[in-house]
Amino acid sequence: MPVSVANSQLVYDAVKGVGVRMVSALPETWLVHLIRMADEDPDMTLVRLAKEEEGVGVSAGAHFAGVKSAMLMQNHGFLQSINGIVGVSLLYKVPLLMLITDRGGFGEKDPWQTEGGKHTRPVLDALQISREDLTRPDEVEPKVAKAMTLAQSSLSPVALLLSRDLMWEEPR
């Protein structure tokens, strides 16, 4: 599997390191290891969603109950969650850490991923959701920590975009 196990582990350790104990997710090729790691970790609650928008509600409930959480999803999962993000996270000022595998950019071979990838950043920007790209292994831990800090202090959603360079190991 050309999805990077090592870098998935880096992301997972960083997310756990900032206190996340609940992860809600739908699978995506680049997320397979991250979801497996959450599933195998007895300290982590993995919520398998039917549709990504539910995860916004699950994360809000966890926050109200005092538990830090994160959402794992792909571009289309984010686009699918918009009403929940606006109606719960933004309207009610609820922290939300979103880890979005960023398909559809340079190097994308799957035609069906190309539109979702193109619109993710403009939609995040339209909602004024702070975002950062994760492209190098050495920036994973500090950026995840800073993203969680901002989510908690600003009581708002933040997005980390997991890039092809970080998640995919296929030789070009």
Partner 1 sequence: MGGASLKRIDCLKAIYPALEECAVVSIMGAAAAELYSLGHRANFFYLEHAMGLASSIGLGIALSQPSRKVVVIDGDGSVLMNLGGLTTLARSRPPNLVHLIFDNETLLSVGGGAPGGYRWFTTATSTGTDLAAIAEAAGFPHAQTVRALDDFEAAVLDAFNGNELSCIVAKVEAEMPKSFLMDIHMLENRFEFPRALQQPPRDRSQLRRPTRITKEEPTTIPALKSREE
Where along the sequence are the contacts to partner 1 (CB under 8 A)? 22, 45, 47-51, 53-67, 69, 83-84, 87-88, 91-94
Smallest distance, partner 1 to C-beta of residue 140, A: 26
Smallest distance, partner 1 to C-beta of residue 165, A: 33
Q: β-pairing, 45-48 with 68-74?
A: unpaired
- In single-letter form, the type of residue at position 135 comes to T
- Residue 154 — left, alpha, or beta (φ > 0 → left; ψ -120 to 50 → alpha)? alpha
Smallest distance, partner 1 to C-beta of residue 20, A: 12
Q: Are 99 and 160 in contact (CB under 8 A)?
A: yes
Helix (H, G, I), strand (E, B) or coil at 169: coil
Q: Which one, 8 or 156, has the nearer CB to partner 1?
A: 156
> CA nearest 77: which of 60, 54, 111?
54
Q: Which one, 22 or 166, has the nearer CB to partner 1?
A: 22
Q: Which one, 69 or 101, has the nearer CB to partner 1?
A: 69
Contacts of 28 (CB under 8 A, 6+ apart): 72, 73, 74, 77, 101, 103
Q: Which one, 72 or 162, has the nearer CB to partner 1?
A: 72
Q: Which one, 84 or 117, has the nearer CB to partner 1?
A: 84
